[in-house]
Structure 1
């Protein structure tokens, strides 16, 4: 009989094998690398909001890498930043134009957006 909590057999002998506390699971390092890579792939970054020459009209750019759907993360990041910018001013967002770039896996995908802040009704 084997105690999975203590890693000992009856009589105090320490079990050998991959579940021994002194011998961690062989795939643990591999799993850590996969988790680290997956977390990096989920990231998107954005520029600061930039005012244009038109009143209450702004631009923002966002980018993301990893996978075919990275453009969606870039779009979402740009939308969230635009919405937050207008909400901090007590206004609502209206997107006037958006350009999306990048379609291949493992390349940088981007979203450039122009938006306006309008009073809430």
Structure 2
């Protein structure tokens, strides 16, 4: 006769049956699957947070534009204007755009730019900041 104690064959079979779920996976396999799902969820949350940071940064950058270079009344002198909005540093972006446009204009002609005057307007946050640069193109030495 079989011993029906705690180490008996029916108890072992029942223990094995309990370790399997209805789909036939063991508790170790379920734990592994749960850990994989948790890793995917954490990765998805990190990507969502990163996307939110990027979108917030894009919103702070705002818009910027430049005008075409225009010859002024004084021969050999040109003017270009730039504007930027969004954030406290919009004036710096407007200044940089205007001076870069002046530099590029002169470089296309094999010359270098020399800024004569600059007029800046708009200092309040979230308003349009403008920079108007008057410049000349000089030969390179």
| TM-score higher than 0.5 | yes
- Measured in 1, the distance between the counterparts of 2:122 and 2:98 equals 15
Structure 2 portions without partners, runs of 5+: 1-26
Match of 1:32 in 2: 51
Match of 1:44 in 2: 64
Superposed, 1:50-61 pairs within 5 Å as 50-61=70-81
Structure of greater Rg: 2
Match of 1:78 in 2: 98
Give the structure with the larger strand fraction: 1
* TM-score, with length taken from structure 1: 0.74
Give the structure with the larger helix fraction: 2
- Measured in 1, the distance between the counterparts of 2:58 and 2:73 equals 38
Compute the displacement of 1:86 (Å).
0.3
Q: CA RMSD in A?
A: 2.8
- Measured in 2, the distance between the counterparts of 1:34 and 1:16 equals 26
Quick check: 1:18–1:24 contact (8 Å CA) kept in 2? no
Compute the displacement of 1:73 (Å).
1.0
**96-105 or 45-54: bigger deviation:** 45-54
Number of matched pairs: 112
Structure 1 portions without partners, runs of 5+: 1-8
- Measured in 1, the distance between the counterparts of 2:82 and 2:28 equals 59
> Which of the residues 78, 95, 112 maps onto 1:92?
112
